Amino acid sequence: MIAGWNMFGFTGNTPASARDSMLSIRNTWTEVIGWDQASQRFETTIVNGGSNEQADTRILMPTRSYWVYVTESCTLASIGA
């Protein structure tokens, strides 16, 4: 990934929190946002270290794509096995 907004696909087989999914880039990601195809709207932003609706404990779903903002170039490790 390069600094700024990047798209990634959730590669795990089971849902996982954003915090756990972003573990390999925990010091560089600031926000994750998904697209809800059914409602044709962006989901509420997940914030690294956030709380309530923006908590990083919110779940990312298999086969979905997300946008992530990173503050510097980094490598996101594969999610799941």
Bridge partner residues of 5 (DSSP) = 69
For residue 80, the model assigns a pLDDT of 63
pTM here?
0.91
**Dihedral angle of Cα 6, 24, 50, 40, to the nearest 10 degrees:** 30
Residue 26 lies in a domain: yes
Residue 78 lies in a domain: no
Who's near 68: CB < 8 A, 6+ residues apart? 1, 5, 6, 7, 8, 22, 25, 29, 31, 32, 76
Alpha-carbon distance of 50 to 31, in angstroms, equals: 9
pLDDT (tens digit per residue) in 27-75: 999 999 998 888 999 999 999 999 999 999 999 999 889 999 999 999 9
Residue 81 lies in a domain: no
Longest dimension (CA), the chain: 32
Q: Provide the token pair at 70.
A: 């990173």
pLDDT range class, residue 10, cuts 50, 70, 90: confident
Residue 18 lies in a domain: yes
Residue 27 lies in a domain: yes
Number of domains in the chain: 1
Which residue range(s) make up the domain with 44? 4-70
For residue 79, the model assigns a pLDDT of 73
